[in-house]
Amino acid sequence: MALNKLKFNSLNVTPTAGKTVGFNSDADGLEATLSGGSMTFISKQTASSSSSLQFTSGIDSTYKEYLFIFTSLHFSDDACNFKFNFRDGGSNFDATKTSTTFKAHHDEADSTTALAYLNRDVANGTGDQTVAQNIGNANDESLVGYMHLFNPSSTTFVKHFMGQTQYYETNNYTETVYFAGYNNVTAAIDGVKFDASAGTIDSGTITLYGIN
């Protein structure tokens, strides 16, 4: 016997593309006005003594903005740097970029503070973008942060990115780095690779979201 499944037009509500069926504000009828929210999980990479964490899918024209969140990244090598690069076609992560970086830091002994331009910028280069330096690798030391990537699938515009890292610096500083820049290419950006200047990413996660 064939099953009779309820079709989209079986419900007493006007169908609306992409909307979820919910109860109305009086809870006495259905409505199709709910959406899933503007921030959508795409994928997560979990480090386990990883030489790099790579996102090679899920970055396309689905969203105009993508967000990476770095949570509790712990590195195998003391005083290493955290960096990333973009893929603009092919298999290499070597998109040409121009960027700006600055930092603030403060040590636990209260002897040093700084707010200064950080010479980890790139000037139309293809090298990696460093966004944290001299990260501690003691058991309780780690890095967090985020990066926004705007409209990576555009074939008209350069691809802007901006973000911030916050970490336990190896000399017992709290240090935060602000960075921004653009991939100076009109080819689509379709991948991002994160790694360390030495050793591996021992543990932690990087999560990719799409923003509507």
User: Binding to other proteins by residue 148, rule CB under 8 A?
Assistant: no
Q: How far apart are CA 142 and CA 175, in angstroms?
A: 11
Site for other proteins in 177-206 (CB under 8 A): 205
What's the residue count for the chain?
212
Shortest Å, Cβ 187 to other proteins: 27
Q: Which stretch binds other proteins (CB under 8 A): 50-58, 140-148, 152-160, 189-197?
A: 140-148
Residue 5 is given by DSSP the state P
Residue 153 is given by DSSP the state T
Q: With H, G, I as helix, E, B as strand and everything else as coil, classify residue 10.
A: helix
Is the Cβ–Cβ distance between 140 and 63 less than 8 Å?
A: no
Shortest Å, Cβ 23 to other proteins: 12
- Of 79, 144, 162, 180, the residue at the interface with other proteins (CB under 8 A) is 144
Is the Cβ–Cβ distance between 80 and 135 less than 8 Å?
A: yes
State the maximum Cα–Cα separation within the chain, in Å, rounded to a whole number. 80
Q: With H, G, I as helix, E, B as strand and everything else as coil, classify residue 61.
A: coil
Q: Which stretch binds other proteins (CB under 8 A): 18-26, 52-60, 90-98, 149-157?
A: 18-26
User: Binding to other proteins by residue 5, rule CB under 8 A?
Assistant: yes
Q: Which stretch binds other proteins (CB under 8 A): 81-89, 150-158, 170-178, 192-200?
A: 170-178
Is the Cβ–Cβ distance between 153 and 188 less than 8 Å?
A: yes
Nearest CB to other proteins, comparing residues 7 and 156: 7
Q: Which residues bind other proteins (CB under 8 A)?
A: 5-8, 15-21, 32, 34-41, 44, 69, 71-72, 74, 104-110, 113-115, 139-146, 164, 166-168, 173-176, 205, 207, 209
